[in-house]
């Protein structure tokens, strides 16, 4: 018999914090969860859809990761690639061919076998021009992938992803890619159940509503049981998962809470085991606690602002550089006491021996900023048009925006209005380039500089700035195909130097993950990519 599951209604999130059991004892949702192995986790924004080819934010991946599994997974302690649907694989001596052997007992949640053909189908779908997935670039290393997307009549047989039989998949690359195995753990590479998408019209059409409870067929450790918009997404243990015996959590309840203060109150009142964020106003208090719930760790991410370079005034590189040079990144970081964030000296965070280009492009130089703005026709900010900075409604983003707003007013004489937008609206407007200046965090998907530099390639669907420079594309792409490590990193530095001079993006700081984690949560390890496989997690009170 399952333990009682309290109903959650977000408008009354704090009021509904206590649950009555049959014996009259008052228990919080966390206490009930601890007994029944039900994890309650906050997510910053609610996904519009659970289509992995269209997911928008890291928090959405946290949900989908429970429902699906790729060829490889991640070891929860250090994230090195481990077998997933593929129980083993071989790599050719030249690094251009990967052969994966799939588990015979890998099943979809409806009982169908997971086959190599499912991965081919999923690849064809994400590369389809009709779908318009912004994540097609995850396949750029695959032979024929770019040509498939550009073809008038695409033929999947021309792409280097082939099912040799039901349980053998071969992937061929155009050049060696040291991080390819790690990349395979990304949601873009997860398989999709063909019959489900064909039934609900989701093969080549976005947002076809196939990923709802009662429809979604996954192959992960959990199944989608319930989705109450604005309240909760519930996933339950999948008995058909090949490694179900190792899965200890019976359910996970994802609670979409965009306001960090509301989420923090929910944690304190015993409604959440894990928060997505921590309010900036609470960081100092939690950081001072000995053995407290605050968990802070560096992650492979950069917090930045981006310009729409297709519209004035930010179509002028002098204006963009002026806005960057006017920012004192040390004061921005100082406003977030206890956060552990570090001022950005480059767009790419330090990783694997890579250090960014000369720091001059991101220095604090208000005099040079004013000179550039005057040269662009706006001496002391006079005549500068009205500008809006678009950002999410969360407290952290608002606080950062207010500090930056003051710096631009003080150092440039330019008033910038802050426009707070609900998450879905904010993201859609940025994708459509319906903005002037916008917040834009970027989270690297694999431990290589190209995970960041690929974002500003001219043909990258995730590049929402309108920036395109052939010189930058040439340097970044050639670096990715260079086998000599020193030469490769040097070329990446050259590419990033071009990017920072052109300034379509203004890096502010390198991010940290900041969560409140209940002491009952076990098997969760801080790591550079903030990925926490649920298969290895459980709840235990001591």
Domain CATH number, residue 199? 3.90.76.10
Chunked mean pLDDT (size 10), the chain, 542 residues: 38 46 74 98 92 87 95 86 97 96 98 98 94 88 92 85 98 90 92 97 90 96 97 98 98 95 97 94 91 95 97 98 98 88 94 84 96 98 97 87 98 97 87 95 88 93 94 92 85 96 97 96 93 95 85
Q: How many domains does the chain have?
A: 3
Q: 540 and 428 share a domain?
A: no
Q: Strands 97-102 and 505-516: what pairing? A: unpaired
Q: 75 and 123 share a domain?
A: yes
User: Which runs of consecutive H residues, i.e. helices, occur in 160-232?
Assistant: 180-183, 194-200
Number of other CB atoms surrounding residue 231 within 10 Å: 18
Strand, helix or coil at 157?
helix
Q: Which pair of tokens denotes residue 475? A: 């340097």
- pTM summary value: 0.82
Q: Which pair of tokens denotes residue 167? A: 């349980």
Q: Which pair of tokens denotes residue 16? A: 């509904």
Length of the chain: 542
User: Which runs of consecutive H residues, i.e. helices, occur in 353-484?
Assistant: 366-375, 395-412, 423-431, 450-453, 470-480
Cis bond leading into 313, ω under 30°? yes
Q: 356 and 500 share a domain?
A: yes
Q: 84 and 180 share a domain?
A: yes
Quote the Cα angle for 280-283-288, to 5°: 165
Residue 376, in any domain of the structure? yes
Task: Report the pLDDT value the prediction gives residue 208, as an integer from 0 to 100.
Answer: 87
313 touches 435 (CB < 8 A): no
Q: 352 and 413 share a domain?
A: yes
Q: 330 and 224 share a domain?
A: no
Task: Give Cβ neighbours of residue 22 (< 8 Å, ≥ 6 apart).
Answer: none
Q: Which pair of tokens denotes residue 406? A: 């003051």
Q: Strands 387-392 and 437-439: what pairing? A: parallel
Q: 51 and 73 share a domain?
A: no
CATH of the domain at 36: 3.40.190.10
Phi, psi of 148 (to 5 degrees): -60, -45
Task: Report the pLDDT value the prediction gives residue 24, as an integer from 0 to 100.
Answer: 54
Residue 282, in any domain of the structure? no
Q: 30 and 152 share a domain?
A: no
Q: 344 and 300 share a domain?
A: yes
Task: Report the pLDDT value the prediction gives residue 150, as an integer from 0 to 100.
Answer: 84
> Comparing C-alpha atoms, which of 30, 54, 8 is closest to residue 462?
54
Task: Report the pLDDT value the prediction gives residue 484, as an integer from 0 to 100.
Answer: 82
The Cα 324–Cα 507 span in angstroms is: 8
CATH of the domain at 329: 3.10.105.10
Residue 214, in any domain of the structure? no
Strand, helix or coil at 397?
helix
DSSP for residue 517 = B
Residue 284, in any domain of the structure? no
Q: Which residue has the tokens 């990033």?
A: 496
> Comparing C-alpha atoms, which of 21, 23, 26 is closest to residue 2?
21
Q: 368 and 477 share a domain?
A: yes
Residue 287, in any domain of the structure? no
Give the chain's count of helices (H) and strands (E): 16, 21
Q: Which residues pair with 26 in a beta bridge?
A: 20
Q: 352 and 423 share a domain?
A: yes
- For residue 243, the enclosing domain spans 1-66+220-275+517-542
Helix axes 366-375, 317-325, angle to 10 degrees: 160
Residue 291, in any domain of the structure? no
The Cα 204–Cα 267 span in angstroms is: 40
Q: 354 and 434 share a domain?
A: yes
Residue 215, in any domain of the structure? no
Task: Report the pLDDT value the prediction gives residue 25, as an integer from 0 to 100.
Answer: 65
Residue 429, in any domain of the structure? yes
Quote the Cα angle for 57-60-66, to 5°: 145
DSSP assignment of 257-308: ---HHHHHHHHHTTS-SB-S---HHHHHHHHTSTT-SEEEEEEEEEEEEEE-
């Amino acid at each position: 018999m399952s333990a009682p599951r309290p109903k959650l209604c977000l408008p009354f999130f704090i009021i509904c914090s206590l649950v009555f059991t049959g014996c009259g004892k008052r228990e919080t949702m966390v206490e009930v969860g601890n007994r029944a192995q039900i994890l309650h986790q906050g997510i910053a924004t609610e996904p519009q859809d659970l289509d992995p080819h269209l997911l928008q934010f890291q928090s959405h991946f946290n949900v989908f990761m429970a429902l699906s599994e790729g060829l490889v997974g991640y070891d929860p302690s250090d994230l090195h690639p481990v077998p997933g649907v593929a129980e083993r694989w071989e790599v050719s001596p030249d690094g251009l061919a990967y052969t994966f052997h799939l588990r015979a007992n890998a099943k979809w949640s409806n009982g169908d076998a997971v086959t190599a053909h499912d991965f081919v189908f999923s690849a064809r779908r994400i590369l389809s021009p009709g779908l318009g997935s912004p994540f097609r670039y995850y396949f750029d290393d695959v032979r024929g992938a770019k040509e498939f997307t550009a073809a008038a009549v695409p033929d999947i047989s021309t792409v280097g992803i082939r099912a040799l039989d039901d349980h053998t998949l071969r992937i061929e690359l155009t050049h060696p890619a040291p991080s390819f195995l790690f990349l395979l753990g990304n949601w873009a590479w997860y398989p999709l159940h063909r019959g489900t998408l064909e039934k609900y019209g989701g093969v080549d059409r976005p947002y076809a509503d196939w990923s709802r409870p009662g429809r979604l067929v996954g192959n992960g450790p959990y199944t989608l049981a319930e989705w109450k918009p604005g309240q909760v997404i519930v996933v339950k243990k999948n008995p058909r998962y090949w490694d179900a015996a190792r899965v200890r959590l019976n359910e996970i309840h994802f609670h979409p809470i965009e306001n960090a203060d509301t989420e923090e109150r929910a944690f304190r009142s015993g409604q959440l085991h894990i928060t997505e964020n921590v309010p900036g106003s609470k960081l100092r208090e939690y950081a001072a606690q000995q053995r407290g719930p605050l968990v802070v760790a560096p992650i492979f991410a950069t917090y930045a602002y981006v310009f729409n370079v297709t519209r004035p005034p930010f179509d002028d590189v002098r204006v963009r550089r002026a806005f960057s040079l006017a920012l004192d990144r040390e004061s921005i970081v100082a406003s977030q006491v206890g956060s552990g964030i570090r001022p950005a000296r480059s767009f790419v965070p330090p990783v694997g021996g890579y250090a960014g280009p000369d720091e001059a492009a991101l220095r604090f130089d208000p005099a040079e900023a004013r000179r550039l703005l005057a040269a662009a026709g706006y001496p002391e900010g006079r005549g500068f048009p009205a500008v809006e900075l678009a950002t999410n409604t969360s407290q952290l983003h608002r606080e950062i925006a207010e500090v930056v707003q003051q710096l631009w007013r003080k150092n440039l004489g330019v008033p910038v209005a802050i426009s707070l937008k609900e998450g879905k609206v904010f993201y859609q407007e940025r994708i459509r380039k319906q903005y002037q200046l916008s917040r834009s965090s970027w989270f690297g998907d694999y431990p290589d500089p190209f995970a960041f530099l690929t974002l500003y390639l001219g043909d990258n669907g995730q590049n929402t700035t309108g920036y395109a420079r052939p010189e930058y594309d040439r340097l970044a792409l050639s670096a990715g195909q260079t086998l000599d490590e020193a030469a490769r990193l040097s070329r990446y530095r050259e590419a990033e130097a071009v990017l920072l001079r052109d300034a379509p993006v203004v890096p502010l700081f390198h991010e940290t993950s900041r969560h409140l984690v209940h002491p009952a949560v076990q098997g969760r390890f801080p790591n550079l990519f903030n990925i926490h496989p649920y298969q290895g997690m459980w709840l235990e009170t001591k």
